[in-house]
């Protein structure tokens, strides 16, 4: 329940007491967090802190062993990733998964929800409407490729993209699905610094438009520049959280990276 004295708006995404185990290893140990519309929240911590396991649980790619996940107040921990995307929450991956047999533009178009051409009957009975919808989708996909810096690669085969370019494509595909909550797993890794700066600006704009953004990132300078709040994890738990300047200066964060207790 939200504290009446908390100045932040109510959360659109919330986890309570989340636990994820792999055999005898507790990767996520009782984590609770909340992200509100308009926030860009950075999730930081050393390798093995539990960040990706937490993302898998939040996105529906791994069912938590215990705890609750709420999206817009509705419990969703028993739903899969596709159902959560339908509710308005989606993710990108550390290792992107483009469809290599399609062009970059086609990859983005395929992510659009509710396409008019999905049904055979619609294609046969209203071909002009389907073609018009496809033109609108292509225009929107091209716009998103421009936003992420891939406008010169629209016709390229997705299999030929570099790792960094595949990350940009992954983000464009997610944006095409029009989520209200974005979970981004190391979106800037392998991306050219100038493009990373542009993407940082894009995250700020998304939050200003009422989206909620939670992203894992190892580039702490980017976290400091773009996040409204930072959550630091260590050994499966939240070590500290708060404004970027406070968290990045917190000795508990430095201790986590050095593998010792503050």
Between 197 and 19, the more confident residue is 19
Is it the case that residue 220 has pLDDT exceeding 50? yes
Which pLDDT band, with edges at 50, 70 and 90, does 73 fall under? Answer: very high
Three-class DSSP category at 218 = coil
Which pLDDT band, with edges at 50, 70 and 90, does 118 fall under? Answer: low
Mean pLDDT of 99-111: 93
Q: Which residues fall within 8 angstroms of residue 52, CB to CB, at 6 or more apart?
A: 94, 185, 216
Cβ contact 234:46 at 8 Å? yes
Three-class DSSP category at 225 = helix
Mean pLDDT of 57-61: 95
Give me the pLDDT at residue 117, please: 46
Which pLDDT band, with edges at 50, 70 and 90, does 120 fall under? Answer: very low
The 10 Å Cβ neighbour count of residue 244 is: 19
Mean pLDDT of 231-241: 95
Written as six digits, the tokens of 169 are: 């494509």
Is it the case that residue 45 has pLDDT exceeding 50? yes
Q: Which residues fall within 8 angstroms of residue 53, CB to CB, at 6 or more apart?
A: 20, 22, 27, 28, 62, 236
* Phi, psi for 148 (deg, rounded to 5): -95, 0
Give the Cα separation of 149 and 203 in Å (integer): 14
**What percent of the chain clears pLDDT 90, i.e. is strictly above it?**
65
Query: Which of 21-30, 117-126, 213-222 comes out lowest in average pLDDT?
Result: 117-126
Which pLDDT band, with edges at 50, 70 and 90, does 113 fall under? Answer: confident
Mean pLDDT of the chain: 88
Between 93 and 33, the more confident residue is 33
Which pLDDT band, with edges at 50, 70 and 90, does 116 fall under? Answer: very low
- Is beta strand 40-44 parallel, antiparallel or unpaired with respect to 212-216? parallel
User: Where do we find the tokens 């998304």?
Assistant: 206
Mean pLDDT of 231-246: 95
């Amino acid at each position: 329940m939200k504290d009446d004295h908390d100045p932040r708006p109510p959360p659109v995404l919330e986890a309570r007491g989340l636990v994820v185990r792999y055999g005898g290893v507790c990767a996520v140990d009782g984590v609770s967090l909340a992200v509100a519309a308009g926030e860009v929240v950075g999730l930081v911590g050393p390798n093995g802190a539990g960040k990706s396991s937490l993302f898998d649980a939040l996105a529906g790619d791994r069912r938590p062993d215990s705890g609750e996940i709420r999206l817009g107040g509705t419990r969703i921990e028993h739903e899969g990733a596709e159902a959560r995307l339908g509710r308005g929450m989606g993710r990108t991956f550390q290792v992107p998964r483009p469809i290599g047999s399609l062009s970059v533009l086609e990859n983005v178009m395929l992510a659009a929800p509710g396409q008019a051409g999905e049904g055979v009957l619609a294609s046969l009975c209203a071909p002009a409407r389907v073609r018009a919808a496809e033109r609108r989708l292509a225009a929107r996909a091209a716009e998103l490729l421009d936003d992420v810096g891939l406008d010169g690669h629209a016709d390229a085969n997705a299999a030929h993209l570099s790792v960094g370019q595949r990350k940009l494509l992954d983000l464009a595909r997610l944006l095409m699905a029009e989520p209200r909550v974005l979970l981004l797993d190391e979106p800037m890794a392998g991306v050219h610094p100038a493009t990373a700066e542009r993407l940082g600006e894009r995250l700020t704009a998304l939050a200003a438009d009422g989206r909620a953004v939670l992203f894992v990132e190892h580039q702490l300078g980017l976290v400091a520049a773009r996040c409204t709040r930072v959550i630091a994890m260590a050994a499966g738990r939240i070590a500290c959280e708060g404004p970027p300047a406070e968290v990045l200066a917190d000795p508990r964060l430095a201790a986590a990276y050095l593998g010792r207790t503050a």
